[in-house]
Amino acid sequence: MAFGLKDLIGCLESGDNLDIGYHRVFGGQILAQMIVAAANASPDKVVKSINVLFPREGDTSKRMEYGVNKLQDGRTFGTTSIIATQDDKVISAATISMHAAEESALHRSAAPPSVGSPEDGTPTENVMMPFDIRVVDGVDLADRGVGPATYQMWLRADVGDAPLATHQALLAHATDLTIIGTALRPFEGVSQADSTVTLHTAVTSHSLWFHQPVDLNAWVLLSQESPVVANARAFGRGDVFNAAGEVVASYAQESMIRSITPQ
């Protein structure tokens, strides 16, 4: 079932979950709402980074409760803890670092991959991502053929004059969706389409760093790779580039991938 941007950044301290036609709460929703909750708690700062653990899956039929605790709030930096619970059980726990804007020297050595422009990508619709999406080289993560453990996509959203935290939250939501599929590309005969069918998959941790302000009204490029899958765990990482080729954010994720034993 499709949903809109306003649905994604909905209730923060307590609320219903996104209806995406699946019983498990999507981690990207939790990431997004935690970022906005942290920004609301520290209006004089912006989110610098978020590190999240997912010890238990959430149930979309139950309301999610968010407990926000400002652990430290200094002049320029702050630290906020947010716990997401259902029925007094911890679904997710995050530590979020806040930072007041500062002038500084700049060093940007990372270059974006040579993937052309958004117009060269393949338009793609995804029920989990209410964005305008262009996938580089038309890569289909549901394809069970063998491919490199890399994936790039352009995305943008009509966010208007929404505050920076909304742009950050929506970007965080997007970074949580495709790393498992990227990690599965080198394996013949399986893909992210096999999740819940022949594979048990679940994100165990996700980290995201914001280096510069991000504007999702303009195209951004997500470029990611998965360098290793081992011990039933996959690891992936990525960078986010703006239209000028500057790195505005970076992210990393670990997930569980197990074969489902036939009954």
User: CA–CA separation, 79 vs 96, rounded Å?
Assistant: 6
With 0-12 / 13-18 / 19 or more C-beta atoms within 10 angstroms meaning exposed / middle / buried, residue 210 is: buried
Per-residue model confidence as pLDDT tens digits over 59-116 = 988 888 898 999 999 999 999 999 999 998 999 999 999 999 888 877 776 778 899 9
The larger pLDDT score, comparing residue 229 to residue 10, is at: 229
Cβ neighbour number for residue 24 with a 10 Å cutoff? 13
pLDDT band at 55 (very low <50, low <70, confident <90, very high): very high
pLDDT of residue 242: 95
pLDDT band at 21 (very low <50, low <70, confident <90, very high): low
Q: What's the whole-model pTM score? A: 0.90
pLDDT of residue 88: 87
- Angle between helical axes of 27-41 and 164-175 (0-180°, round to 10): 160
pLDDT of residue 2: 42
pLDDT of residue 3: 45
Share of the chain above pLDDT 70, in %: 90
pLDDT band at 262 (very low <50, low <70, confident <90, very high): low
Pair 31, 173: CB distance under 8 Å: yes
Structure tokens at 126: 């995804």
Averaged pLDDT, 39-58: 94
pLDDT of residue 110: 73
Q: Quote the distance between the C-alpha of residue 138 and its chain's center.
A: 21
Cβ contacts of residue 92 below 8 Å, gap of 6+? 27, 30, 34, 52, 53, 54, 55, 58, 83, 84
Pair 92, 53: CB distance under 8 Å: yes
Domains and CATH numbers, the chain: 5-100+115-259 (2.40.160.210)
User: CA–CA separation, 6 vs 23, rounded Å?
Assistant: 21
pLDDT band at 16 (very low <50, low <70, confident <90, very high): low
Share of the chain above pLDDT 90, in %: 71
pLDDT of residue 197: 86
Averaged pLDDT, 56-60: 90
Structure tokens at 260: 């489902």
**Residue 122 pLDDT exceeds 70:** yes
With 0-12 / 13-18 / 19 or more C-beta atoms within 10 angstroms meaning exposed / middle / buried, residue 70 is: middle
User: CA–CA separation, 261 vs 193, rounded Å?
Assistant: 17
Q: Which range, of 2-6, 77-81, 158-162, 253-257, averages the lowest pLDDT? A: 2-6
pLDDT of residue 159: 92
Pair 96, 83: CB distance under 8 Å: no
With 0-12 / 13-18 / 19 or more C-beta atoms within 10 angstroms meaning exposed / middle / buried, residue 62 is: middle
Give whole-number Cα distances, 71 to 78, 108, 188, in Å.
8, 31, 46
**Residue 148 pLDDT exceeds 90:** yes
Per-residue model confidence as pLDDT tens digits over 184-195 = 999 999 999 998
**Residue 19 pLDDT exceeds 80:** no
Cβ contacts of residue 88 below 8 Å, gap of 6+? none
